[in-house]
Chains A and B, each alone.
Chain A
Amino acid sequence: MIPAYYHTIMTFTCINILLSLSIGVLAGYAGQVSLGHAAFMAIGAYASAMLTVTFKVSFWLAMPAAALVSAMVGLLLGVIALRLKEDFLAITTMGLNFIVIGVLLYAPYFGKALGIGDIPVPMLFGEEMGRGMYTALCLALVAGVVAAVWWLQRSWIGLAWRGIREAQDVAQVMGVNIAKFKIFAFVISTAIAGIAGSLYAHFLLFITPYDFGFPLSIQILTLAVLGGLGAIRGPVLGAILLTILPEYLRFIQDYRMLTYGLLLVLVMMYQPQGLFGHKSFLTEGLKRLFGGEEKIRGRAA
């Protein structure tokens, strides 16, 4: 029997991996930075919670619906983002985060500052899901999303996204429909964030607007950037590292955030491509340890 503590950490790791992948698709592939991704997690969490609590919908329908609602708002942001670039887009997404939190706090419909409680535990075969089953569900979803992102990355869509990231004007001259692919990146990314939000809501069973503030958005971006934007490897490993590491750092208590910040500064100074990014110290080291073949091919070329 694995203690509940480990289930909790694993579940949070999965949620963080999803969030990190979500930012990875948007910022890493399509080159559109979002400083407000917690907003989409909030939308997913609230949609899922309200559907199950207020409308008594099954979790299994509520979760895809949450992804859909989040993706619709993402589509809206995508349309706006067509007119914005880089810094301006970052600031706009930041603003969106505050707007969403503001609406959740002050609109009467969403439980205001008290949030939504008594969120039902998902049912499986007529029984409430145990912690272990829930962790398994999270792992399965992570596997599914990783597979989907991997497929997208290898397809024409991934190629178009990276073209847009590198040089939007040139991608346009190659016949890439910039608007279509940009909006699609927002839709995919926000749908993934919506799923993460739904998983979060049905794990904690109680959510408030304060859970999804601006600091969380920064944290989501940090997960992916520290791991290395651009590939699946970076965001996934970054999320695992940054969820588990703080647990082992508990012994330094008050200095945890300080260590965290320092780590971030050091990585940005010495490995700006991320810990597991292209040709980073760690990837090259691992390759040298395991990938003899890579080395030989490198020499032949």
Chain B
Amino acid sequence: MNPLLEIRNIETYYDLIYAIRGASLAVDEGSITAILGTNGAGKSTILKTLMGLIEDQPDKGEILFDGRRIDGRDTEAIVRGGIAYVPEGREVFEELSVRENLLLGAFTRKDRDGIRRDVQRVLDYFPVLAERSHQWAGTLSGGEQQMLAIGRALMNRPRLLCLDEPSLGLAPLLVQEIFHIIRQINAEGVTILLVEQNARMALAIAHRGLILENGRFVLAGSAADLLQDPNVQEFYLGVRSTASAKGYQRWKRKRRWR
């Protein structure tokens, strides 16, 4: 079976910065795939390239969604094709009500009744939002805003949902709740591509994981394998830091895949 999303050897320039240096990735339908990496590794850039948000990029390579080329197309067309995106830092429309935020999420759809049903569905899904459906989104707490951002993306009825660091700036309990929701959305048949720094949480729900460093994928495998990998454990999960002969912790031992 063909993967739902296939990225083939893309290279992306951010102005003059060579951000993605030949990355390939396949996301199977129905799976949760996590992209892990440190700050500046290029995780968000991959998603932005995928969504067509960086002008004239990718510079090289192909992106296929459901077997069709989508690289170089307008964001509008990509969204219409069934990919939804939750931007980093839960960007809600602050001076629009919760309900209006959701309606904007369904902007590419035309079926009024379906949209009305889906607003209700999302509000049922997130009862906190239902209580505040007429409030300005800017008055919500961070966790509620993240839920709204996810709910808004679901309004597009996506086949693929891309999330950029949904755990950013949230308390641990809230992070757990958000990840629980992501898993639930996946169980309902939505394929998920997740970009995260919180490797432990991401690998706990993902089927597959990829490690990105300096614009290249350096390691890929099933989530279980990655959790067992000693390098991943040391650099991304923070366990088993080996002590030197003198008993100091050796932070500098970091292995580079270059």
Contact = CB atoms under 8 A, between A and B. Distances in A.
B186 interface: no
Interface in B65-113: 74-76, 79-80, 85, 87, 91-96, 100, 103-105, 107-108
A159 to B, nearest CB: 6
Contacts of A167: 91-94
Interface stretch (A94-102, A174-182, A194-202): A174-182
A225 B218 CA distance: 54
Contacts of B131: 301
A173 B93 contact: no
A252 B183 CA distance: 70
A42 to B, nearest CB: 33
Nearest to A278: B95
B75 A166 contact: no
Contacts of B96: 159, 162-163, 166
A169 B44 CA distance: 14
Given A159-B100, A169-B53, A176 B91 contact: no
A172 B48 CA distance: 12
Given A159-B100, A166-B94, A175 B79 contact: yes
Interface string B196-208: 0000000000000
A162 B51 contact: no
A278 B95 CA distance: 10
Q: Is the interface of A mostly helix, strand, loop or mixed?
A: helix
B116 interface: no
Contacts of A169: 53, 87, 91
A245 B107 CA distance: 43
A285 B137 CA distance: 24
Given A167-B93, A169-B53, A175 B103 contact: no
A162 B51 CA distance: 22
B93 A170 contact: yes
Contacts of B76: 172, 175-177
A174 B79 contact: yes
Contacts of B152: 174
B100 A174 contact: no
Task: Report the interface size class on chain A.
Answer: 10 to 19
Interface residues of B, number: 25
B156 to A, nearest CB: 7
B180 interface: no
Instruction: Kindly name the residue among B87, B92, B93, B131 whose own CB sees the greatest number of chain A CB atoms within 10 A.
Output: B93
Contacts of A162: 93, 95-96, 100
Contacts of B91: 167, 169-170
B154 to A, nearest CB: 12
Contacts of B156: 174-175
B75 A175 contact: yes
Contacts of A159: 96, 100, 103-104, 107
B134 interface: yes
A171 interface: yes
B107 A175 contact: yes
A159 B100 CA distance: 8
A229 to B, nearest CB: 11
Contacts of A163: 93, 96, 104, 107
A301 B53 contact: no
A176 B104 CA distance: 8
B52 to A, nearest CB: 9
A159 B152 CA distance: 14
Interface string B138-159: 0000000000000010001000
Interface string B118-134: 00000000000001001
Nearest to A172: B75
A206 B79 CA distance: 53
Contacts of B107: 156, 159-160, 163, 174-176
B137 to A, nearest CB: 9
Interface in A243-301: 278, 301
B92 to A, nearest CB: 8
A175 B108 contact: yes
A177 B73 CA distance: 13
A174 B53 contact: no
A96 to B, nearest CB: 26
A278 B80 CA distance: 34
Given A167-B92, A169-B53, 13 more contacts: A159-B104, A162-B100, A166-B94, A169-B91, A172-B76, A173-B75, A175-B75, A175-B76, A176-B76, A176-B104, A176-B107, A177-B74, A278-B95
16 contacts: A159-B96, A160-B104, A163-B107, A166-B93, A167-B91, A167-B92, A167-B94, A171-B93, A173-B79, A173-B85, A173-B87, A174-B79, A174-B108, A174-B156, A175-B107, A177-B74
Interface of A: 156, 159-160, 162-163, 165-167, 169-177, 278, 301
Q: Which A-B residue pairs are the 6 nearest by beta carbons?
A: A175-B79, A175-B108, A166-B93, A170-B91, A174-B107, A175-B107
Interface of B: 51, 53, 74-76, 79-80, 85, 87, 91-96, 100, 103-105, 107-108, 131, 134, 152, 156
